[in-house]
Structure 1
Amino acid sequence: MKRIYLKHAALALAAIPLAMKISAQDLKKFPAGAGPAEVGKRIAARFIATPHTNFGKPTPPRVITYAETCTWYGALNFAAVTGDKTLTAQLAQRFEPLFGSRDTLIPKPDHVDYTVFGSVPLELYRQTKEQRYLDLGKRIADKQWGPPEGPRVTAESHRFYGKGLTWQTRLWIDDMFMITCVQAQAYRATGDRSYIDKAAKEMVFYLDSLQRPNGLFYHAPDVPFYWGRGNGWMAAGMSELLRSLPKDNPDRPRIMDGYKKMMASLLQFQNEKGMWRQLVDDPASWEETSGSGMFTFAFITGVKEGWLDKQVYGPAARKGWLALTGYINADNDITDVCEGTNKKNDRQYYLDRKRLTGDQHGQAPLLWCATALLR
């Protein structure tokens, strides 16, 4: 009788769903269909098959958009962490026309949204060691710190440049992914600390200028709303920067303090499902996937790097990832992505933003999260 009882007990245990056996903070084991290797491969394949996008418009873009850049960068990082040489080759092949007849698609690095493109050739250099990628990526990254030039230059450009900041400074929170991503990549590709040290100084300036007492960020100084994806850019940017910022950098403690302050606030605003809203602190606003993906990436990175308490943030990171995978449709497009958004001092403006499907603003964070989980 005892043996029969144990046999039935074993069978009953085996029947318990996998999700119930796994610790709430486990970031390695996931239910079928939600594993980061599987999801990342599907989203990367979707990107390979997708023509150059133009913020949801039916016409092709004039230049590569920052949203596509961020997805391309995410796919390359996923290829690296999984050792998928075929995927790297496909992503390099997507770049090949930019060295030839389609070179006009390369954005001119005179704005943060354009300069971030340099992160892609710099990552291709890291994986292929082809000098042409490094030459292009460095040239773009260097322009960000060079003297102001071109039609976008304003009096403020010169003022910021005179302070040792990039002349592309504009104090929008989006900037803190766009600037830190390309400059961290330049450091990773070259080993030259000046790139990431300057990015760290820039981050401190933004933290001191924009972070609110609750740890979150207004979209801009004159727009007092905690927009989801805007805050997501900041969360992801700090995570990317801290991941490679040398321990002896004098700005590291200030940035880590700002990061942890933001993470503690985000933890309070994550809903039971695991998502965050279009306006982070507004319960009347809708659940939005691109910001949620960026916050989840920041949580995963913090837990993996040991910056955040695994017992506290591990369950939130896991819940965020599982929630996001529930928004992926049969075409491997994520739904409920806020459309491209300018700043506006109007709550209703943010609530009324279109909810897009498959927009690269939402596809990119899925790849970042998958990579962070596997890193």
Structure 2
Amino acid sequence: MKVLKVLGAIAFSMLTMLTQAQEIKPAEVKAIMRKVADWQMAHFQDLFSGHKEPHHPLDWTNGAMYTGMLKWATMAGDDKYYSWLREIGKDHNWKLYNRRYHADDHTVGQLYVELYRKYGDEEMLSPTKEQFDYILYHPSKTSLHWMSPYHHDRWNWCDALFMSPPVWAKLYNVTGEEKYLDFMLSEFKATTDFLFDKKESLYYRDESYMGKLDNGTKIFWSRGNGWVFAGLVNIMNELNPRSKEYKYFLGIYKKMASKLIEIQTQEGHWAMSLLGDEFYPTPETSGSSFYVYGLAWGINNGVLDKSTYGLAVRKGWKAMVGHVTDEGMLGYVQPIGAAPGKAWPDKTEVYGSGAFLSAGSEVYKLYGGE
């Protein structure tokens, strides 16, 4: 029996090495991205996460999807993706979603700024700028402590660091007005000082998870940290790499990147509870796609060493592609939540597609795509 186990382990190891040795072809990356993008557009108004109604087009779920769809649109060679995204903005008069301060309702602003960059139409930018100016001059004074009065008016949950800060960074970049950068940096630092575990180099989802254990491990939610990791990239894309602000975000990014390659599973994904993979063996593709996106970006931008991080990207991307159905649906996307949970091969979510398309955009570059 022991001999059989040893032989099986050797065979698995050889198969893994063979799979990892296979180079990723840019044309194949582009083809699977197109399939996922087309499926998601066709199923945009489906019911997800057990909801009885489709997500509102300006909801954070779709806002996250748009960030990836935008990256695909720049690669696709087909204006239908830009046209589809532009119609969403036009249909809603380029307004952010309902809540003035809530980071989730700012997410769609990432779409608006990018479309403004492409088309130069001030109408696309004005409502976001007006709302952010109001926040600047009427900043929330609430505590970051969970369940304090109006606590969601500040970024006191880690998901928020993907939703709102990149919009502030983009607005700074396109207007040249440093007030947007200064506000974003101040609030980002406050959240990081509050939620970042320096020993583990990971973020708690919010204060309510601090001090709690799940099967003896600290609770670091995979998608929550994926939101942060991708958000860091989306922020740094807007900053001068020589600036002190860029270096601040890069410092956090590198700490997280180093931790992430330590805890990647043998299969290539990241466990839903990042430190508890033995208790959460089910793949989860939204958080994992964000990690592939962030790590590939780091190699492409010369801030991560390919010999150290390249294997993690290759394993991760191949794992993600393995969970795309023949029709183009990305499976194993955890439904809306705030903690480690469950995922299924036949269930997806719009933000999962956005994460996958973001990952593909950087993997494509990494393997020679132009």
TM-score, normalised by the number of residues in structure 2: 0.80
Task: Verify the 8 A CA contact 1:55 1:359 in the aligned structure 2.
Answer: yes
- 2:133 aligns with one of 133, 137, 142: 142
Q: Distance in 2 between matches of 1:115 and 1:299?
A: 25
Q: 1:277 to 1:144 in 2, by over 3 A?
A: farther
Matches within 5 A, 1:265-276: 265-276=259-270
Matches within 5 A, 1:132-171: 132-148=123-139, 155-156=142-143, 168-171=153-156
Instruction: Name 1:14's counterpart in structure 2.
Output: none
Any unmatched runs of 5+ in structure 1? 1-18, 158-165, 344-349
Q: Distance in 2 between matches of 1:21 and 1:329?
A: 20
Instruction: Name 2:356's counterpart in structure 1.
Output: 366
The one-letter code sitting in structure 1 at the alignment partner of 2:25 is F
Matches within 5 A, 1:86-97: 86-97=80-91
Q: Distance in 1 between matches of 2:289 and 2:202?
A: 16
Match of 2:327, SS? Answer: coil
- 1:289 aligns with one of 264, 285, 290: 285
Q: Give the number of the structure whose alpha-carbon radius of gyration is greater.
A: 1
- 2:108 aligns with one of 95, 104, 117: 117
Q: Distance in 2 between matches of 1:329 and 1:119?
A: 28
- 2:34 aligns with one of 41, 45, 53: 41
Q: Distance in 2 between matches of 1:78 and 1:301?
A: 15
- 1:233 aligns with one of 223, 227, 235: 227
Task: Verify the 8 A CA contact 1:215 1:265 in the aligned structure 2.
Answer: yes
Q: Distance in 1 between matches of 2:114 and 2:243?
A: 23
Q: Identity across aligned pairs (percent)?
A: 24
Q: Deviations over 1:169-218 (max 9, x none)?
A: 24211111112221122234334343234323333333322221121122
Q: Distance in 2 between matches of 1:289 and 1:220?
A: 22
Task: Verify the 8 A CA contact 1:145 1:167 in the aligned structure 2.
Answer: no
Matches within 5 A, 1:317-328: 317-328=313-324
Answering whether residue 63 of structure 2 is matched by residue 66 of structure 1, we say: no
How far off its partner does 1:154 sit? 7.0
Match of 2:244, SS? Answer: coil
Q: Deviations over 1:6-55 (max 9, x none)?
A: xxxxxxxxxxxxx969967x6xx4287xx322122222222322334665
The one-letter code sitting in structure 1 at the alignment partner of 2:200 is N
Q: 1:62 to 1:273 in 2, by over 3 A?
A: closer
How far off its partner does 1:354 sit? 7.3
Instruction: Name 2:25's counterpart in structure 1.
Output: 30
Matches within 5 A, 1:193-342: 193-212=178-197, 213-224=199-210, 225-282=219-276, 283-285=278-280, 286-342=282-338
Instruction: Name 2:79's counterpart in structure 1.
Output: 85
Task: Verify the 8 A CA contact 1:201 1:251 in the aligned structure 2.
Answer: no
Task: Verify the 8 A CA contact 1:53 1:65 in the aligned structure 2.
Answer: no
Task: Verify the 8 A CA contact 1:81 1:374 in the aligned structure 2.
Answer: no
The one-letter code sitting in structure 1 at the alignment partner of 2:169 is A
Moved more, 224-233 or 57-66: 57-66
How far off its partner does 1:353 sit? 7.0
The one-letter code sitting in structure 1 at the alignment partner of 2:355 is P
Task: Verify the 8 A CA contact 2:155 2:161 in the aligned structure 1.
Answer: no
Match of 1:156, SS? Answer: coil
Match of 2:203, SS? Answer: coil
Moved more, 236-245 or 317-326: 236-245
Instruction: Name 1:189's counterpart in structure 2.
Output: 174
How far off its partner does 1:140 sit? 4.0
The one-letter code sitting in structure 2 at the alignment partner of 1:327 is H
- 2:118 aligns with one of 121, 127, 134: 127
TM-score, normalised by the number of residues in structure 1: 0.79
Q: 1:368 to 1:141 in 2, by over 3 A?
A: farther
**Cα RMSD, aligned residues only:** 2.9
